[in-house]
Chains A and B, each alone.
Chain A
C-alpha cells in the first residue's frame, strides 16, 4: 500500500500521489481522519465543494489477517456538521488495498449540475463513466448489473449511493457489496452518501485483477500475530463457529437489553418492549428454521471473516427477504417504532438497503415522527409507506430523509434522542451510563461503535460493571482510544469481544499491524494511536464550532424517568467534560 488516489469531481480528473511521509504509518480511520482534518476546512458546508470524502482500507486489509475487510469512509458529516468516520465490511476495500491504494480522496464539485458519474479503478488506472442511467433505481436493481458489466462479483466490488444520496439527504449512507455481491453493507451513519451525491459521484467499481499481494515488511511477525488472533476468535464463545454471533447474529442482543431495561422503546419512552422476544435473534433463528426447514447459520459479510455474524431473513415461501437484520436495524424499526412483526421489520430494512439509507437514523426518525403525530407507533404498514416516500422525495419524504433532528423540528417534537444531530442507537443511556457518556463525547455524534462500553457494562466481556453506576469517565475514554486503534487496523470491531478477554489475541493484532508496516509497535502503542486519532477528530470539531455544550444528552433525559429502573440521566457535566480533558 503506497499510493493515494485523488479524484477531482470539478473537472473529472484523477491522479495518483505518493502517500505523504507524515501518513506513512496511517490507514483506516487514522488516515481518513488525518486527511479530513488536514485538508477539509472545518467550517465548510458538508455538501459544498470544499468537503471531501475519503476512503481508506486498514493496516491489514487485503492480507490473510482474519476478519479484516473493513473500509473506512470519512468526511465532514452532512448530518452532524462534525468529522465522520463510518466503516463497512466488504471486499471493496480489500481490492483497493491489493491495488496498492491506501486512500481515495474525492474532492471538488461540478460547477453546474453535471449529472452523475461513476469511477472505475483497476490495475491499469482510473476512468470516469457517465452514470445518469444508474440513478433513481433500487440498489439491488442497479448494483449487480453494474458488477456484471465489469466482469462479475468474483472480479469486482461496488461502492454506490442510493436515491437518498442522490437527493443529498442527511440519513444517506454509503453502500458496498457483500461477499455474495448483494448491495447491503453500509458505512451507514452521518450522511456521507449525501456528500458523495453532492459531488455527483454515484458509484465506484474496483477490479483488482492482476494486482500483487499486499506487501508485508515482516512476514514472520505478521504470521505470528494473525495466528494469535485467529486462535482467540476461534476460542471465544461469542466469536467461535456456531457461537453466539454465528448462530443468532447481532440481534441476539434484543432480549439481553430488554431484560436489562436498556432497550429503547417507542422513541426512548421505556427500556422494555413487550414484543422483544418476537423480534430477537432467537426468533429470527426459529423463524428461518420453520420457513427453510433447517438450521440456518449466519454468513460472513466480507472475504476472510471467520466470525460470520450476518443473518438472512426468509419469506414464508423460503425465499430470501433481506440480509442482514442487524441488532441496530431490528431495534430501530422494532422496539423503537413499537413494531413486533419480523416481516415488517425485514421490509423496512430492505427498503433502507434499496434506497441507500442508514437504518438507525431512519428508525429513530420514524419514532420521532410518530411522536409528532405523523403515524402511530406499531403501524408497520404505514411505516413502510413513509420510507417509500423518502425515496420518492416528496416534501415529507425529504424531511424524514434528513433525520430525526430535522423531523423533530418540523413536527414540534422536543423528545429527540440525539447528540450533535445524530440519533441515538439501541442502548438507553439512562439505564447504561457508560454508553451515555460515550454518546455525549463521541466525535461522531451519538454512536455506540465509538466505544462499546456495553461489553463490560452488560455483556460481562472485559470485566463486569454495573451499568447504572454513573462513574464511567475512564471507561468511556479508554474504550474510545482502543476503538480508534481497531478502526485503523481494518479489523471488524467484533474482534474486540475475543481480544478484550484473551490478551494474546490483542497482542496478535498489534503484531499483525507492526508486521505489515515494519514498525516496532507493542501493546503500549494502542492507546497512543487511539488518542492520536481522537485528538485529530476533536480538533476538527472544535474548529467546526463545537463546544462542551454540544457534548450533552437531550434535555428530556435529565428529568423524564425511564421504566423499569425509573432512572434519569444523572452523570454530572463536569465528569463528561473530563473524558477528553
Chain B
C-alpha cells in the first residue's frame, strides 16, 4: 500500500521543501515505525506524528492505504 508522507522542520532532507507530499510504499497495515524507517529518518528525531489530522501516540499504529502522515521533530511556539 501507499501512504502520503510529509516531513517538516529539521526532518526534511537538505534542499527538500518542508511539507512536500511524498508517496511511500509500505506493506499492508504497515505502521508509523515502518514509515519512519522507510524514510530513513532516525526514530529518535521524530517527536510528533499526525495521521490524517489525528495526533498519533503509538509508533506501532497501523496505517491505512492513502493515509496522510506528517512527521515533526520536537517543536514549540506560541
Contacts and interface: CB of A to CB of B under 8 A. Distances in A.
Given A248-B75, A455-B76, A459-B48, A464 B57 contact: yes
A448 B10 CA distance: 26
Nearest 6 CB-CB pairings of A with B: A250-B77, A282-B18, A237-B74, A277-B19, A238-B76, A261-B53
B3 interface: no
B interface majority secondary structure: loop
Interface string A248-263: 1111110110011100
Interface residues of A, number: 49
B47 A255 contact: no
A260 B72 CA distance: 12
B37 interface: no
A494 B77 CA distance: 7
Contacts of A239: 76
A466 interface: yes
Contacts of B57: 460, 464
Interface in B11-26: 12, 17-20
B9 A244 contact: yes
5 contacts: A244-B10, A245-B77, A259-B70, A282-B12, A564-B53
Contacts of A458: 48, 55
Interface in A227-282: 236-239, 243-245, 247-253, 255-256, 259-261, 271, 276-277, 280-282
Given A260-B53, A466-B55, A565-B53, A255 B76 contact: no
A252 B77 contact: yes
Interface string A474-493: 00000000000000000001
A449 B72 CA distance: 23
A256 B78 contact: no
Contacts of A238: 74-76
Contact of A464 (B55, B68, B78): B55
B8 to A, nearest CB: 5
Nearest to A494: B78
A244 B50 contact: no
Residue among B18, B72, B78 with the most chain A CB within 10 A? B78
A468 B57 CA distance: 14
Contacts of A452: 78
A237 B73 contact: yes
B5 to A, nearest CB: 12
Interface of B: 6, 8-10, 12, 17-20, 47-48, 50, 53-55, 57, 68, 70, 72-78
Nearest to A239: B76
Contacts, number: 112
A256 B74 contact: no
Nearest to B72: A256
A459 B19 CA distance: 17
B78 to A, nearest CB: 6
Most A-side CB within 10 Å, residue of B48, B50, B53: B53
Contacts of B68: 259
Contact of B78 (A250, A283, A460, A468): A250
A281 B17 CA distance: 12
A493 B76 CA distance: 12
B77 to A, nearest CB: 3
Given A260-B55, A564-B53, A286 B17 contact: yes
Nearest to A244: B75
Contact of A277 (B18, B50, B55, B72): B18
A461 B10 contact: no
A497 interface: yes
Contact of A497 (B8, B9, B48, B76): B76
A408 interface: no
Given A253-B77, A280-B8, A466-B55, 20 more contacts: A238-B76, A243-B74, A244-B10, A245-B76, A247-B10, A249-B77, A250-B77, A252-B75, A252-B77, A253-B75, A255-B9, A271-B53, A283-B18, A286-B18, A309-B77, A326-B77, A449-B78, A454-B78, A455-B76, A459-B76
A276 B78 contact: no
Contacts of B53: 259-261, 271, 564-565
A464 B59 CA distance: 14
A327 B77 CA distance: 7
Contacts of B73: 237, 244
A255 B70 contact: yes
Among A255, A281, A467, A468, chain B packs the most CB atoms within 10 A around the CB of A255
B19 A256 contact: no
A552 B47 CA distance: 34
